[in-house]
Amino acid sequence: MPRFSRSLDVYQGFNFKKDKQSNVGVLLTMKVGGKELKADLETIKDPEQPTKDIKAVGVLNHYLWETGSTDSMYFAGQISTENRQTLAMLILNDLTNIEVEFSYAIYQFDPLEKKYFKSSFHKSALKGLVEKSGDELKVMVDDDPAEEVTSPQNFTFQIGIKPQPQEQQVTLASAPQMKVEKKWGFKSGK
């Protein structure tokens, strides 16, 4: 099965430059265990419309999905100090509610049309569960600030999210007009 994996440019995410054409990803919303992380990164530029800002929970440095309907999605990136504190407290409290609701967008540059386009996105917020490996949850946040971008202060986080038992749609694209809908999750039989 094909894999959709992107290394993303955190510096470009925080400091968008129209003449640079690297992949960019943003975590637009995220709620973990019923606790909402704030979209408090307010000056992130929309690569498709660089004069407009996006409010984001985080700027991503990596995204991976094996594209199977039951495969987990993996996100790594940078979040604010307040979101780091919120996520760290959830982890310290053993995170008994592992439900996740989130939205994101991955952008790539099309050299033929000379513009950015969304290469992975969805219409409705996605619902998942924090992935587990044995007894260990696949979520972490660094204690020390990241150094790639120092202002605003930000912290590296990682999370693996498997789909909840309901059918959801994710759009993948290789160019602005070349898109495919993929299922993420499936309804379980009763």
As a dihedral over the C-alpha atoms of residue 79, residue 182, residue 22, residue 32, rounded to 10 degrees, the angle is 0
- The arithmetic mean of pLDDT across residues 6-17, rounded, is 96
DSSP state of 113: T
pLDDT in tens, 88-134: 999 998 778 899 999 999 999 999 999 999 999 999 999 999 999 88
Mean pLDDT value of segment 165-176: 96
Whether the pLDDT of residue 189 is over 70: the answer is no
Question: 46 — alpha (psi -120 to 50), left (phi > 0) or beta?
Answer: beta
What 3 state SS string does 153-167 have? CEEEEEEEEEECCCC
Mean pLDDT of the chain: 95
pLDDT reported for residue 190: 58
Kindly state the average pLDDT of the residues 37-52. Answer: 95
Domain residue limits, the chain? 4-184
Q: pLDDT tens digits for 140-164?
A: 999 999 999 999 999 999 999 999 9
Q: What distance lies between CA 137 and its chain's CA centroid?
A: 17
Instruction: Please say if the pLDDT value at position 188 is more than 80.
Output: no
53-68 pLDDT per residue, tens? 999 999 999 999 999 9
Burial of 180 per CB tally in 10 Å (0-12, 13-18, 19+): exposed
With 0-12 / 13-18 / 19 or more C-beta atoms within 10 angstroms meaning exposed / middle / buried, residue 64 is middle
